[in-house]
Amino acid sequence: MAKNRFSTGSGPSQRQLRVGELIRRTLSDVLARGDIHDPELNRMPITVAEVTASPDLKIATAYVMPLGGQGADEALAALRRNKGEIRRAISKEMTLKFAPDIRFVIDKTFDQMDETRRLFAQDDVRRDIEGAGDEEE
């Protein structure tokens, strides 16, 4: 089975969760204000769904998606191109000892939810689910 950000074994520590959320909020603010000197990036509304921090807090993975889901590759390229400036902007606003290296990944959560909804809408799956509920009674 392939690992994803939700199947990490014992799970992240409270500190990793706090740092990830702090980076997520700060990154969202930096992008919303247009603090990065790249006109292409500043005209793209980008949602930062989640940020996960590595156990040593030196790497942060930001799960992002352009608003509406269109232009994901362009958004990812713009974020990666401006990675250094984004890291500096975030570190200016945070009180961490070290600014983590930020990696950007397209957030697939919404695609997975759409696929799950599509599967549940199929007649044979609905029949199986409804049949399983009858057996419990």
> What stretches of 1-137 show up as alpha helix (H) in DSSP?
14-33, 39-42, 72-81, 83-93, 109-121, 123-136
pLDDT the model gives residue 2? 42
CA gap 73, 133 in Å, rounded: 43
Condensed to tens digits (0 to 9), the pLDDT of residues 11-29 reads 889 999 999 999 999 999 9
Q: How confident is the model at residue 35 (pLDDT cuts 50, 70, 90)?
A: very high
CA gap 24, 27 in Å, rounded: 5
* Stretch(es) of the chain classified as CATH 3.30.300.20: 14-106
CA gap 43, 45 in Å, rounded: 6
Task: Say which CATH topology domain 14-106 has.
Answer: GMP Synthetase; Chain A, domain 3 (3.30.300)
Condensed to tens digits (0 to 9), the pLDDT of residues 75-132 reads 999 999 999 999 999 999 887 888 899 999 998 876 666 667 777 777 777 777 777 6
First to last CA, the chain: 33
